[in-house]
Amino acid sequence: MNKAPKLRIICPTPGSRHIAEKLVASGQFDLELWQRPKTIAQGVRTGLSAGQPILAVCAIGILIRVLHGQDLGAKKHGLSIIAATEDGKILIPLLGGHAGTNRLAKHLARILGGTAILTTASDQTFALALDECPKGWHLEVQPRVFSKFMQTLLEEREADLSQAPDWVQSSAIPHRSGARLKISWQLGRPYADELPSSTRDHLVYLPERRITIGLGCARNCPSGYVTDLLHKAEQRLGIRFSHPAFASLDIKETEPAFAEIAPKMRFFSSTELQDIPVPNPSAVVQDEVGTPSVAEASALALAGEGATLVLEKIKNHKATLAVALAKNPLPEQETAWPGRPRAVLKIVGLGPGSPDLMAERALRALEEAQVWVGYGPYLDQARSMGAHGDPQLLAFALGGEEARCCAALDAAAKGQQVALICSGDPQVYAMAQVVYELVARHPGRLEWQGVHVETLPGITAMHALAAKVGAPLGHDFCAISLSDLNTPWEAIERKVQAAAYADFVIGFYNPRSQKRDWQLPRALEILRAHRPADCPVVFGRNVSRPDEAITVTHLSAFDPCAIDMFTCLIIGASFTRRYKETVYTPRGYQLS
């Protein structure tokens, strides 16, 4: 993702530092301070060449001298310089006014309690900057085309505003129907055109967050039917949708096609939809789902009061679609949109411990979640691994896995974004299977059936340990948990026997605790009967955590007392090799 460049503040005098302090305190900027009085020129030049916007608290004369002879290369490089007086009361954009510097200067002035003095002509003549749209509008235009339009507007002092956005119509620009210059708005970019729609005679604005699309579909409808309708809708309206907001009926929350096409879809109940007046109500739909309209009604419900349906229901064999236009833009934050988000439960693997061994996707899921559920120390670990946000925490004690998973499903069923946190990988002796099993066992719990469950993988302890010593898992391997809390010991022993006989490398989890101290010696007894005395054994306590301890030894020297519940253990196959402190299991290549 592209980050906005840091605002460079040149504060050469002690009297000007309060400006930087105020801006820092506002928390709205990523700032870089340049305080060296003797090198203002250097500060400006390096900032410009790095494409940074610059706020220079110094005389305009100094800046003019610094800029003299510089290749400013017109405005296309996005140069942005604002001069400010030492008291921060006056800010004057010098370069890049129409490319965002005016807007930045006004914003800074608001924070500093000062005034931005704009010298660009449109601001003077029409008390309006046509390239600074109010929230909810977007002008897609090349800077040169915009300058040309403005030049003509300043000469002709009139434009046809009959189809202009209301904030342009109420400006000081004189309106005349049929004038050469035209300002209008349209739903989206023209369907067949790749270029911005504005020209030197015609400025076109696009509304943001105003188009809502209502979708309906048959159960398990392939996503192609929905994309087909989206293309048809674009053709009918003659535009391309850009980030439209999607809505549907809540019983459609788990439709895979919707999750794929509209991950941020909003959902409404049939009660919320049934009374919305629509042009194409259907008695069949009413009988099936309790509301006479899904696509049209949900598009209108999401668009809110005063919305208009701009495309009535269209359909193919398996899906329906309708498009509405909201009167006002939807809030920037999706959480404030009407309806509810899809109930989502992400089962997140933290990896073995070190933050850089956690998948980026897992970190994102933690940050997006409104609720974290898990064993208390895992929640602390998730926080210490750099996941920000302010989630509600549902911390559980050790054990009680089922209660943890029920709590996570219940929270998700309320429409919350939930992360159920596991160490390592969520499928390896952890929570994922419990969640899937609970959902499968309770088909009657409709609220759980509607939850979209997703597993986010993590690096499991066995892999993290193996990587520390080389490649002990280089050929066939298996994992066995020695915990007989939920599995009868006979079943575990059978697997150890079979793995020993089949000559798998074995990773042992939950190898030994204070109460369960005889299981590991028994497993070793079985293995010693099948493997040589010098068979490599590797164990790691708290792998990838600050107090990590890794040991490489062999079967006859291995003492199970060195093992506890924070340890993962790998026992090599009969042909696993040790070389110095590394261990590898050959895969049978005939290496020379």
Q: Convert residues 473-512 into a mask of x (bound to ligand SAH by CB under 6 A) and - (unbound).
A: ------------------------------------xxx-
Q: Which of 44, 229, 302, 568 binds ligand SAH (CB under 6 A)?
A: 568
Site for ligand SAH contains 396 (CB under 6 A): no
**Closest alpha carbon to 569 in 509, 520, 490:** 509
Residue closer to ligand SAH by CB (options 562, 565) is 565
> Residue 104 interacts with ligand SAH (CB under 6 A)?
no
CB nearer ligand SAH, residue 297 or residue 563: 563
Helices (H), 211-343: 223-237, 256-261, 270-274, 283-289, 295-303
Is position 12 an interface residue for ligand SAH (rule: CB under 6 A)? no
Contact region with ligand SAH (CB under 6 A), list: 106-114, 265-273, 285-293, 562-570? 562-570
CA-CA distances (angstroms) from residue 531 to 479, 499, 500? 17, 11, 8
Determine how many CB atoms are found less than 10 A away from the CB of residue 421.
30
Whether 459 contacts 425, CB under 8 Å: yes
Q: Does 352 bind ligand SAH (CB under 6 A)?
A: yes
- Of 11, 5, 63, give the one whose Cα is nearest residue 29: 5
Report the residue from 121, 145, 550, 565 that binds ligand SAH according to the rule CB under 6 A: 565
Are 5 and 50 in contact, with CB atoms under 8 Å apart? yes
Q: Is 203 in the site for ligand SAH (CB under 6 A)?
A: no
120 binds ligand SAH (CB under 6 A): no
φ/ψ of residue 472, rounded to 5:
-65, -20
Is 126 a binder of ligand SAH (CB under 6 A)? no
DSSP secondary structure code for residue 246 in this structure: E
In the bound state with ligand SAH, the residue whose beta carbon lies nearer, of 291 and 381, is 381
Interacting residue with ligand SAH among 104, 247, 461, 573 (CB under 6 A): 461
CB of 572 to ligand SAH, least distance (A): 17
By CB under 6 A, how many residues form the interface with ligand SAH? 23
Which of 424, 457, 470, 536 is the binder for ligand SAH (CB under 6 A)?
424
User: Residues 229, 430, 505, 583: which binds ligand SAH (CB under 6 A)?
Assistant: 430
Instruction: Determine if 429 is a binding residue for ligand SAH (CB under 6 A).
Output: yes
545 binds ligand SAH (CB under 6 A): yes
Residue/partner pairs of 101-106 with CB below 8 Å, 24 or more apart? 101/53, 102/129, 102/132, 103/129, 103/132, 104/7, 104/53, 104/80
The residue (of 295 and 348) whose beta carbon lies closer to ligand SAH is 348
Minimum CB–partner distance for residue 510 and ligand SAH (Å): 4
d(CA 422, CA 429): 10
**Which of 543, 552, 570, 583 is the binder for ligand SAH (CB under 6 A)?**
543
460 binding ligand SAH? (CB under 6 A): yes
Residue 423 contacts ligand SAH per CB under 6 A = yes
DSSP string over 451-503: -EEEEE----HHHHHHHHHEETTSS-EEEEE---SSS-HHHHHHHHHHHHHHT
Residue type, 235: Q
Please give the structure tokens belonging to residue 310. Answer: 């701009």
Residue 457 near ligand SAH by CB under 6 A: no
**Shortest separation between residue 483's beta carbon and ligand SAH, angstroms:** 8
Helix (H) or strand (E) holding 342: none
Length of the chain: 592
The 3-state DSSP class for residue 299 equals helix
Q: Of 58-66, 318-326, 515-523, 564-572, which segment contacts ligand SAH by CB under 6 A? A: 564-572
Query: Considering the complex, what minimum distance in angstroms separates the CB of residue 520 from ligand SAH?
Result: 11
**Non-local CB neighbours of 39 within 8 Å, separated by 6+ positions:** none
* Residue (138 or 383) nearer to ligand SAH, CB: 383
* Number of other CB atoms surrounding residue 457 within 10 Å: 18
Residue nearest to ligand SAH (CB): 424
- CA–CA gap between residue 475 and residue 485 (Å, rounded): 30
Residue 507's closest CA among 572, 576, 414, 584? Answer: 572
Whichever of 491 and 591 has its CB closer to ligand SAH, that residue is: 491
Selected binder of ligand SAH within 371, 425, 524, 583 (CB under 6 A): 425
Among 85, 125, 449, 542, binds ligand SAH (CB under 6 A): 542
Q: Which of 567, 570, 571, 577 binds ligand SAH (CB under 6 A)?
A: 567
Q: Which residues bind ligand SAH (CB under 6 A)?
A: 352-353, 422-425, 428-430, 460-461, 509-511, 540, 542-545, 565-568
